[in-house]
Chains A and B, each alone.
Chain A
Amino acid sequence: MIFSGGSLVHILDLLGYLILFPLIAAIFLLFERRDSSRSLIVQLSAVAIGIVSLLLLVLGYNRDTLLYAVGSEQVGQVMFFIELLMVAFILYLAVKHRKTLAAVLVLLQAGLLVWFETSLSHGLHVANNLFVDQFSIIMALIIGIIGTLICVYAVGYMETYHTRHPEVRDRRNIFFAILFLFLAAMFGLVFSNNLLWVFFFWEITTLCSFLLIGYSETEEATNNSFLALVMNLLGGLAFLAALIWLVLSDPSGRLLDLNYLLTTGKALALVPAVLICFAGITKAALMPFSSWLVGAMVAPTPVSALLHSSTMVKAGVYIIVKFAPVLSGTTEGLMIALVGGMTFALASFMAISQNNAKKVLAYSTIANLGLIVACAGVGTYNLMWVAILLIIFHAIAKSLLFLCVGTVENRIGSRNIEDMGGLIVRMPRIAIMMFIGMAGMFLAPFGMVISKWAAIEAFIQAPFGLIFIAILAFGGSATVFFWSKWMGKIISVMREQEVLEDTVKKEKWVVLWILTGLVVVVCLIFPVISWVLIEPFVLNIYGQTAGLAQANLTIMIMMLCLLMIMPLSMLFYRKGPHVPATPYMGGRPMDGNMHFAGSLGNSREVVLSNYYLEKMFGEERLFMIGTSMCWGLLLIAGIMLVGVML
């Protein structure tokens, strides 16, 4: 154990601050009903949380894993008490909305909790409840910067949302309180070393997402929120089962120490690892459970952005990546990796057939989480490196895209991609941001392609890697298809359109520009991030680490610079001689509004629609295939696990 003596600020204080400060902000927001002061609280807290997470980076990046003995029996008691309150609350809502399955699951969980607390928890002692290492710092930065940016954006968004949806009850004080509670829970999750604490924060994120998805209180929203709840409760049960298994194997509770557990080797850690990874799969919305994340689209857009980029699903992959060393080389790990791989390929295919912008983003998220889990499940050192890289790049680009789509939706009143034609004329700045965000998702030399490339190079050295390379090759090309056709829609130039983006608020612009800048800057400096944070972390666990070849890095950065210089050619072209022309329409008479003279003097509008290839990549068909195959894989993993237990 190493203490961070010598510095002015104790790192432990920062951890406590990051977990508790959002909580305090949440309480303030709960009782604040005025727009102006709410906006002020959110902005100030965002700045404060952001700065502290950066401070944590500065102080903590060059240290080994730091463990802290804080908290006591009482804290555990309080947590248990809060968990029971949560159970009661969910039970009340489940009965109110007549959701039997949710009620049964929550009762089951309550029973297990009470049994655990009364007959197993005596004498449990975990020496260190909190910890911080480089991976936690990365997660903290994602939560502390991207998460809070989304909160700042949400202030303006929710104002517009309520004017556009007068039928929805204005409960913004609760909404923002939950957002900050969510952040607090996420900080708690990534800093907890005691698995009981992890579980506690885990359940809070489940509850928060449940409440946020159901915010609009429509029937669809309520149903989808319960869908999310049921699936996550299932995962919660698996998590609880892992805890019980750990305590039964060692009544002293030593195994509940996360960082200790990871070092005990496969014999002890495999069973809880697989159970917790199952919980992670439900939370990360991989294939059999992907429907909850797609259903979560009914929520206001900042919620989707938060769930997809910095919280919730990232909690799921965080815990799976954490357990990657235990999974590596085991058949169970391979099964989990295959679930991830199948999810990646099929979700990418399904995204082709969607014209709802948020659904495309949802499937893309599911696909990328699948890829992260595939990396973690195989679990070699270079794949761990790739998985963390994917988490970073995905969080930034996806939050940007969600917020852009939210802004567009509020202006054009639709989230259908087909309605986004000519966005480059109507909302030029937003369109360029979306363009950069999408480039970040699938074009070289941006983040996700760097990661996919590293993944191919890593899988080729891993056992059974060829399966994953095939999955990556086919799924990756599907990614190219659905992003490019969306990009094409945005940039197709239609004439005589009015500019719509002047009404976008200043703070929203600030958030969007910061995120756009992050997409590019993180791409440029990712070698530094890798060198400072990811490589030491991987080195610490595996004793060796990965990275891209120096020559390739140079070329990538040169390509990125070239890509940034190329648009400057527009300046030249705007000045230079050119002859305006009309698009080719087979010679039909046209007006500037893209109307052409049809037969018998009718005037018709040119309407161009993208390909969705429904028959080949239809959602229902692929979902059936994916769900059954992934259930099958999980079942195999489960059976093998029972074998191990016995």
Chain B
Amino acid sequence: MFLVPGFIERFLHRMASPPHFYAITERLMPWLWGIFSLLLLSGLYSGLFLAPPDYQQGESYRIIFIHVPSAWMSLFIYSVMAMAGAIALVWRIKLAEVVAISSAPVGAGFTFIALVTGSLWGKPMWGTWWVWDARLTSELILLFLYLGVIGLYNAIDDKRSASRAVAILALVGVVNIPIIHYSVEWWSTLHQGPTVTKLDKPSIHVSMLIPLLIMAVAFKFYYLIAMLQRAKTEVLVREQNAQWVKSMTEQELAS
């Protein structure tokens, strides 16, 4: 646990230089957009047109192609945020602070999507918009954790101490992640058990699994885009008095 190799530490320090980060992000962005658009279009096409209807749920199950990837993203982004927060706390790397706080609104968005699409799926299939079972309740707590992180960050003026407070809150909330994942196995819930991450084999037909996985990868790229957009703004605000930001606005003025 304490044996972090030296080259990783050196890499982190180099990436942590804000102008370097800003330039790399600018160069990366068109590629990210390209890959995301391709994945999204093929995911939507295969999910809405090619995939057959479900034997029980008919066409309504097509909500799965946004609901499940969003729910996965809500957990994934929280883990990234907490890890970035831990790195920020231990190594005091500014960029890790920026990544942590820039992830929060994106994660909150995906959590909100997972809850709303689940509700829109639950009404016709289960017969109710909402139940207080363990899965739905723990996912709602996740949304509040994200909103707490965003609120706490905005409530503290000094952004470096705000980042530290936020990192601790995020790390405390990590306990909710395994609870959400295992809630359908530990307790009786209205929400069904896991489909894709079952240990033996996924109980979803391959014609439905492929669009689901494409959408999941597309959402990963979306996260990179949305998080980096926030991170760029955040870096600019934090570095507004630095020379590289001044010369950039100078160019902006000239053009």
Do the two shown chains form a genuine complex with each other? no
- A interface residues, Cβ below 8 angstroms from B: none
